[in-house]
Amino acid sequence: WQTLSNRIQNVAPSATLAVDTKAKAMKAEGIDIIGFGAGEPNFPTPGYIVEAAVEACRDPRNHRYTPTAGLPELKAAIAEKTKRDSGYSVDASQVVVTNGGKQAVYETLQVLVDPGDEVIVPAPYWTSYPEMVKLAGGVPISVLSSVKHGFVPTVDQLEAVRTDRTKAIVVNSPSNPCGSVWDAQTIREIAHWALEHHVWILSDEIYEHLTYDGKKTSYIGAEVPECREQLIVLNGVAKTFAMTGWRVGWLIAPRFFAQAVSKLQGHLSSNVSDVSQRAALAAVSGDLSAVSQMREAFDIRRQRIERMLNEIPGVFCPKPTGAFYAFCDVSALLGQPHGPHGTVSHSSAELAAALLEEAHIAAVPGEAFGAEGYLRFSYALEDNDLIEGMQRFRKWAEA
Ligand code: PLP
């Protein structure tokens, strides 16, 4: 009688959080670990956002529940921001404010998926998508894109796995973990394919402002307006404004869908903390100068980490053009002795464990993203740490 539900037993823990937790535990023991695991900007939240939160804390009206779907002024500001950044109009009634982008993805799948429904999840994927599909009773269908194709899936690949149970496809550009930005042509092709076959599109745009080398995020809702009736946009302030811990995200969906999400959230968590919502209001209604500065710093690190990874024998890192991740092929390091003890790793998971134990650097193995033979390095860390960490990796690989 003490068994856990099948639902939860079927789910893998978050691998990215697991690496981060292990690295933090080793750090707490006094071991000097350099963490490339967490998808978390190392900058402070911009001052004007913090000030808005401080003011909100002092206002005695802000201790209350807000409407479940979010403060009306925040929903209106998100609609405005969508017009500014994505170039098309949505109504505030289509917005639901959630506890981080993560909850937006989770609730979307709960509202969309019936048992046995299939959701196409292009791999390498953000580690939570397939687990959330399973939690909704659905079946994640992974489609692995190739390095050669810049980690962008083709419509032919999607068509090859489509069945009459295909309910939705996940699009995540700029991508975690690949750091790729899907070109407008591919975005349009996928949208037209989804329109033709009545497939919902879940577009996770949480890294929208972190693009480099002149690349820009292509927004499905602007590229192919006809698909807005089957489009759910997932977004949040975490990555753009260095606000991971504030837990504010949102989704934008057709109105009937947003209402259904709000009903679910009403039984799950009610509203997001009022103070966090007011901080998010300052963030989304302000300009993008703070994120421009962060992007410039990320860009320098991106170029550095790509260069340093490619200098390590046995490592191939395609150029990342978005988000703050380098996703590199380490298959040539497997099956060979490396490091001071001649450790042989047979998988990227074993390699990540060896690097943590022996080189004291934390990276997330490709297994967490449906792509064995890869490691993901987040470059959202201090420049000196980045350099030192890469030197440790190189020394370990050359030993
Ligand atoms: N979507 C992607 C692709 C992510 O990488 C993350 C965080 O790592 C999230 C959503 C969730 O972000 P949060 O819940 O912190 O807003």
CB of 39 sitting under 6 A from ligand 1: yes
CA of 206 to the centre of ligand 1 (A): 7
Residue-wise pLDDT tens digits, 38-82: 888 989 999 999 999 999 999 988 889 999 999 999 999 999 999
For residues 354 and 20, is the Cβ–Cβ distance under 8 A? no
For residues 364 and 16, is the Cβ–Cβ distance under 8 A? yes
Range 263-286 average pLDDT:
97
CB of 177 sitting under 6 A from ligand 1: no
Q: Of the residues 172, 176, 232, which should be mutated to test ligand 1's pocket, given the most ligand atoms within 8 Å of the CB?
A: 176
Give the residue extent of every domain in the chain. 6-44+290-398, 64-286
Q: Residue 148 region, left (φ>0) first, then alpha (ψ -120 to 50), else beta?
A: alpha
Res. 372 pLDDT band, cuts 50 70 90: very high
Res. 242 pLDDT band, cuts 50 70 90: very high
Is the pLDDT reported for residue 10 higher than 90? no
Is the pLDDT reported for residue 15 higher than 80? no
Position 150 scores a pLDDT of 84
Q: Quote the CA–CA distance of 46 and 91 in Å, as a whole number.
A: 28
Range 234-242 average pLDDT:
97
Is the pLDDT reported for residue 311 higher than 90? yes
Position 62 scores a pLDDT of 86
Average pLDDT, the chain: 95
Position 287 scores a pLDDT of 93
For residues 325 and 377, is the Cβ–Cβ distance under 8 A? yes
Is the pLDDT reported for residue 23 higher than 90? no
Is the pLDDT reported for residue 213 higher than 90? yes
CA of 208 to the centre of ligand 1 (A): 12
The second-level CATH assignment, the architecture, of 6-44+290-398 is Alpha-Beta Complex (3.90)
Q: Of the residues 121, 132, 206, which should be mutated to test ligand 1's pocket, given the most ligand atoms within 8 Å of the CB?
A: 206
CB of 244 sitting under 6 A from ligand 1: yes
For residues 13 and 367, is the Cβ–Cβ distance under 8 A? no
Is ipTM beyond 0.90? yes
For residues 351 and 339, is the Cβ–Cβ distance under 8 A? no
Range 358-362 average pLDDT:
96
Q: Considering just the CA atoms, what is the radius of gyration of the chain in Å?
A: 21
Q: Quote the CA–CA distance of 252 and 205 in Å, as a whole number.
A: 11
Strand stretches in 227-317, DSSP E: 231-236, 249-252
Q: Looking at the CA of residue 104, tell me the nearest atom of ligand 1.
A: 14
Is the pLDDT reported for residue 33 higher than 80? yes
Q: Quote the CA–CA distance of 80 and 64 in Å, as a whole number.
A: 25
Treating both helix axes as pointing N-terminal to C-terminal, what angle do 128-135 and 100-112 enclose, rounded to 10 degrees?
A: 40
Residue located nearest, by CA, to atom 7 of ligand 1:
39
Name the CA dihedral angle for 379, 383, 384, 390, rounded to a multiple of 10 degrees: 40
Position 163 scores a pLDDT of 98
pTM of the model: 0.96
Residue located nearest, by CA, to atom 12 of ligand 1:
101
CB of 172 sitting under 6 A from ligand 1: yes
Res. 322 pLDDT band, cuts 50 70 90: very high
Q: Quote the CA–CA distance of 373 and 334 in Å, as a whole number.
A: 8
Instruction: Give CA angle at 257 (252, 259), nearest 5°.
Output: 95
Position 355 scores a pLDDT of 96
- 63-67, 158-162, 253-257: which range is least confident on average? 63-67
CB of 236 sitting under 6 A from ligand 1: yes
Distance from first CA to last CA of the chain, Å, rounded? 52
Position 19 scores a pLDDT of 74
CB of 102 sitting under 6 A from ligand 1: yes
Res. 21 pLDDT band, cuts 50 70 90: confident
CATH of the domain spanning 64-286? 3.40.640.10
The percentage of residues in the chain with a pLDDT greater than 90, rounded to a whole number, is: 89
DSSP string spanning 83-104? Answer: HHHHSS---GGGEEEESHHHHH
Classified as helix, coil or strand, 288 is coil
177: its two tokens: 């973990």
Range 341-350 average pLDDT:
94
